[in-house]
Amino acid sequence: MSRALHAEWTKQRTIAGPGWLLLGAITLTVALSATVATAVSYASTGSGQDLTKLSLTGIYIGQAIVAILAVQTMTGEYSTGMIHVTLTAMPRRHTMLAAKAAVLSALVLVAGTVAVLLSILLGRLILSGNGFTAAHGYQLLSLGHGPTLRAAVGSVLYLGLIALLSLGIAAAVRDSAIAIGIVLGLLYLFPIFAALATDPALRRHLQQIGPMTAGLAIQDTTNLHHLPIAPWAGLGVVAGWAAASLIAGGLLLRLRDA
């Protein structure tokens, strides 16, 4: 296994794509978070805003770049034919998939930590300048605050789980364009359907099963009793999605000719 890990790490390290994608994920996450923080002010929105969630809005776009990285980790080998070499050297396909998953999640967790810390830091600086101050009943964003720490750690874990979900789907469909279409469809369509559903029970169910709607409940720090699903339970739903996709991908990888 350690050789498999080393091989996968070498693949990620020696091509230009992954580095740029991780940098892109960090940049876009922080840029969207900072844009949203700049655009809201106490004067226009008043009280009741969830500052932690607002300053982590960038995760919505960052996860798309993480998904590209995860998908290409798998499909890149198919499009170049590298997969034949990989599987010749490492005939146990599950080991190969596990090694890819381990290296990928390590990379994404590191990049995610950087992106989340920068987003929170910028949110703290920008939002307090926009009137969200103690005088208006808002605390300064701080990781010392329990729910904010949970939101930050949870957002990093969420990115890691999205990477695993994408990896499993890519292993199953083997085409990067189709795989990314499925991943982003799963992520972005549930919230749209939920917001447009008129039936309250249906809306709640959609929010409970959608990987993004359930998973990002981890970012909420106010009005928790209004959430369709509890924060950690929501992250559990994403973990379920990731596990299911990895199992499906692993099975297909084993059964099919490469």
Partner 1 sequence: MSTTAASYRSSLPVGRDGFAQLLHAEWTKFRTVRGWVITAVAAALLTVLFAYLGTFHHENGGICVGANSASGTCQSYAHPSPPLGPGGEAVTDTYYFVHRTLAGDGSITVRVASLSGLIQAGNGNAVSVGDLGGAPGPLQPWAKAGLILAAGTKPGAAYASVMLTGADGVRMQYDYVHDTAGPAASARSPRWLRLTRSGATLTGYESADGRKWIRVGSAHLASLPQIVQAGLFVTSPQTAPDQQALVPGGSSKATGATATFGQPGLQGGWSPGGWTAGEVGDTGLYSTLSSVGSTRSGSGFTITGSGDIAPAVGVGDDDTPDLTGVFVGLIALIVLGAMFITGEYRRGLIQTTLAASPRRGRVLVAKAVVIAAVAFVAGGAAAAVSILLGDHLLRANGNYVYPVGTLTQLRVILGTGALVALAAVLALALGTALRRGAGAVTAAIVLIVLPYMLALYSALPAGLSRWLMRITPDAAFAVEQTLPQYHQVSYLYTPSEGFYPLAPGLGLAVLGAYTLGTMLVAHRVLRARDAAA
Kindly state whether residue 67 participates in binding partner 1, applying the rule CB under 8 A: yes
What separation in angstroms does the CA of 188 have from each of 52, 185, 192, 211, 243?
A: 21, 5, 7, 9, 19
What separation in angstroms does the CA of 216 have from each of 80, 83, 152?
A: 35, 34, 11
- Of 38-46, 90-98, 136-144, 230-238: span binding partner 1 (CB under 8 A): 38-46
Kindly state whether residue 19 participates in binding partner 1, applying the rule CB under 8 A: no
Q: Of 2, 14, 88, 198, which one interacts with partner 1 (CB under 8 A)?
A: 198
In the bound state with partner 1, the residue whose beta carbon lies nearer, of 82 and 202, is 202
Q: Of 89, 185, 244, 254, which one interacts with partner 1 (CB under 8 A)?
A: 185
Residues 145-164 close enough to bind partner 1 by CB under 8 A = none
Kindly state whether residue 141 participates in binding partner 1, applying the rule CB under 8 A: no
We find the least distance from the C-beta atom of residue 17 to partner 1, in angstroms, to be 9
User: What is the C-alpha to C-alpha distance for residues 78 and 177, in angstroms, rounded to an integer?
Assistant: 13
Write the CB contacts of 55 (distance below 8 Å, at least 6 apart in sequence).
Answer: 33, 36, 37, 119, 120, 122, 123, 124, 126, 127, 141
Nearest to 191 by CA among 205, 181, 206, 180: 206
Cβ–Cβ under 8 Å, residues 131 and 43: yes
Q: Of 57, 86, 128, 245, which one interacts with partner 1 (CB under 8 A)?
A: 57
Kindly state whether residue 40 participates in binding partner 1, applying the rule CB under 8 A: yes
Residues 209-238 close enough to bind partner 1 by CB under 8 A = 213
Q: Which amino acid is at 55?
A: S
Nearest to 141 by CA among 157, 128, 154, 155: 128
User: What is the C-alpha to C-alpha distance for residues 109 and 162, in angstroms, rounded to an integer?
Assistant: 11
- Of 131-139, 141-149, 153-161, 199-207: span binding partner 1 (CB under 8 A): 199-207
- Of 49-57, 87-95, 111-119, 231-239: span binding partner 1 (CB under 8 A): 49-57
Look up residue 58 and give its two tokens: 């960038």
What residues line the site for partner 1 (CB under 8 A)? 36, 39-40, 44-45, 49-50, 53-54, 57, 60-61, 64-65, 67-68, 71-72, 75, 79, 175-181, 184-185, 188-189, 191-199, 202-203, 213
